[in-house]
């Protein structure tokens, strides 16, 4: 009796796992992206349209440039002068950023 219950539970778990795997998008293509609408990041389906996939961004990227009243979203430090926001994103490795304080500190003396 106990073995049959365990077998039924294992079968149910196996079916659940198969259903989850079958529902994954093919080739690791995300099913959702975000776009800035009325100063808010809105989740939108990507679908099979290659142009939509090209424009799709993650929520964190959308939050970078989507802001209220022409203000840049979460970009830090916030620009204080004139700026122009482009469409290209570049990965910056924080471990490769170098500050040369010698010249600045020498000018303060």
Bridge partners of 35, per DSSP, are 42
pLDDT digits 0-9 by tens, 26-80 = 565 557 888 888 888 899 888 777 777 777 788 888 888 887 765 677 777 777 8
41 burial type by CB count under 10 A (0-12 exposed, 13-18 middle, 19+ buried): buried
Residue 103: which H helix or E strand, with range?
helix 101-108
What percentage of residues in the chain have a pLDDT greater than 90? 2
pLDDT digits 0-9 by tens, 8-26 = 777 666 676 666 555 555 5
> What tokens appear for 46 in the block?
């990507």
- The Cα–Cα gap between 42 and 59 comes to 9
Average pLDDT over the chain reads: 75
For residue 62, how many other CB atoms are within 10 A of its CB?
21
**pLDDT for 22:** 55
The DSSP secondary-structure symbol of 73 reads S
């Amino acid at each position: 009796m106990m073995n049959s219950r365990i077998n039924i539970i294992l079968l149910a778990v196996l079916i659940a796992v198969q259903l989850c795997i079958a529902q994954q998008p093919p080739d690791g293509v995300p099913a959702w992206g975000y776009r800035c609408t009325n100063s808010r990041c809105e989740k939108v389906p990507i679908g099979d349209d290659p142009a939509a996939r090209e424009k799709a961004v993650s929520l964190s990227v959308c939050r970078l440039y989507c802001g209220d009243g022409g203000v840049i979203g979460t970009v830090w430090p916030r620009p204080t002068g004139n700026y122009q926001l482009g469409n290209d994103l570049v990965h910056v490795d924080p471990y490769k950023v170098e500050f040369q304080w010698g010249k600045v500190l020498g000018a303060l003396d």
